[in-house]
Structure 1
């Protein structure tokens, strides 16, 4: 990092057009009262959402609502977007100095934020694993929405980053049955690593109390309608962006009085909104990452200067990943 008397510089990843990203240098202000300068150690790519941004597929009607907490610019671009960042506090209030922290911040090597934006990473959670804090937060919110009960039969459709995370958290619940469902048979080993039963959609067990849908596919949502029991509930955690989905609502949905409800992490789930803050939810998420089984979600790493190429490879399908970790220089 170059310095001057009045400012320093930082490097950040920007989406500058459809399927085009680049690293840009920018001035970094000195931290003011109640602010911290964070040096980034790792950031994670949340593939589903970040590829929507990379491919300029954010609908304009929800562009403002879907903005990340510390986003700069606006959709479709140029926009600085991302929200899985872990670093070390280098400057700021004395009681924050040297702490490893998580922040909902874009991919950037150094940044200044109010300390209220930071979540302290527990000392027994590795910094690399802590990039998953934001995804665990999404899963926690989804489970607060779903409200599983003792002995419930639950299916999670879509063994990606969010679906796997939901299933991992559910594995600690006293359920009657839990299945993680995906069309890819290779996901069985991933489910095994999480300690969760795996099933292909054709073999999944019906009459579920709750189905949590995370596959972002029309076929997956259709199968959710078939697997949930009479008057059961489907929690939709996928974001389809600008894609249109058609459902056979004249079949299971209407005749069996099913419910379909969205879960979105931007606000705390209604069932907890009056008693939990976003900060409480993030603190809980970070604490859950003490379990080393979460390392199964970290499926590759690259250096910060490789980030534009990595995002494009993910978009092209040439790189497969759940959460791909970006490693930053230790200077």
Structure 2
């Protein structure tokens, strides 16, 4: 059986390559891909050559062995249908819809242990948001919002929107978000948050302070999430974080340099900066939480949010290069872009 795989061939260059699809062995199944989602964070960094070539694709995922040394396959959000099973796999798997952390390709072989069956009551396209929802949950767990806090989110890409959606479930006094693009700010406001701002506007800091300093007894944000992917956002985050506040950094900047000003109010304000990355659980939570529990929580969150309404574009797999170009050249027109497979 032949399959088509998306290859990251050079910076800004993609190629669809036909190749032999492996046969499922013991404990494995063959999956025909129905949809895959494109990440506007890590995948765009890979598309533009902004990730160090020596870095592993993902040491925790069997489908993403190797490094970012060109050429390589990438992607980690596929939904498909099981069309063949290997030895010692029950035939009840045949026809089952599943999620896999797998690169963009029309078919693939995976162990049954690595697949996540489509839960009852959840749409196939909603399931594409699973990796980003896991990331959002990890961010919130690392930030540990407290009743009545003022929270600011930098970046309303998909991770930022999902993080903001989770935060609206907490009894916080205010949630404010920043993003360059009106479409994303509109999506944030539709979640019922307090306000949104353009981080590049001249009066953004004044606007933020007018909201965050009205409580009187506590000035500035208690908790800030930086998920914009823009290194300059960190200095803005420091500017609006209050005394002993926390800044959770979920952005991966790749090769982009980060010029961080720690000589101003950062030091005297005792601000904490927390690195958050979904590949691991925070050590202080690992006594009660593991990846399976977090995954189950992410699936439940997808059921109540049903985020597929944020899909702004659907491209046939054959037009994958066009989809990536759209995200790279016109990000202001997009929310979530997915690929569909015939």
TM-score norm. by structure 2 comes to: 0.87
Superposed displacement of residue 265, structure 1? 1.3
Whether 1:232 and 2:245 are equivalent positions in the alignment is yes
CA distance in 1, matches of 2:312, 2:79: 17
Q: What runs of 5+ residues in structure 1 fail to find an aligned partner?
A: 1-7
Contact 2:35 2:79 (8 Å CA) reproduced: yes
Aligned ranges for residues 15-30 of structure 1 at < 5 Å? 15-30=8-23
Are the structure 2 counterparts of residues 319 and 304 from structure 1 closer, same or farther at C-alpha, using a change threshold of 3 Å?
farther
Whether 1:145 and 2:138 are equivalent positions in the alignment is no
Deviations 1:141-179 (A, max 9, x none): 111111112222211111111111100111111222212
Are the structure 2 counterparts of residues 319 and 258 from structure 1 closer, same or farther at C-alpha, using a change threshold of 3 Å?
closer
Aligned residues: 321
Partner of 1:194: 191
Superposed displacement of residue 72, structure 1? 5.2
Whether 1:64 and 2:56 are equivalent positions in the alignment is yes
Secondary structure in 1 matching 2:124: coil
Secondary structure in 2 matching 1:22: strand
Partner of 2:118: 121
CA distance in 2, matches of 1:24, 1:274: 45
Secondary structure in 2 matching 1:289: helix
Are the structure 2 counterparts of residues 158 and 12 from structure 1 closer, same or farther at C-alpha, using a change threshold of 3 Å?
same
Superposed displacement of residue 73, structure 1? 4.9
CA distance in 1, matches of 2:65, 2:105: 12
Partner of 1:313: 326
Are the structure 2 counterparts of residues 316 and 144 from structure 1 closer, same or farther at C-alpha, using a change threshold of 3 Å?
same
Secondary structure in 1 matching 2:190: helix
CA distance in 1, matches of 2:70, 2:58: 14
Partner of 1:3: none
Match of 2:131 among 118, 121, 134: 134
Partner of 1:255: 268
The RMSD of aligned alpha carbons is 2.0
TM-score norm. by structure 1 comes to: 0.90
Superposed displacement of residue 296, structure 1? 3.8
CA distance in 2, matches of 1:229, 1:78: 45
CA distance in 1, matches of 2:131, 2:69: 23
Deviations 1:59-86 (A, max 9, x none): 245x126567212553231100000111
Q: What runs of 5+ residues in structure 2 fail to find an aligned partner?
A: 213-219
Contact 1:193 1:296 (8 Å CA) reproduced: no
Whether 1:328 and 2:330 are equivalent positions in the alignment is no
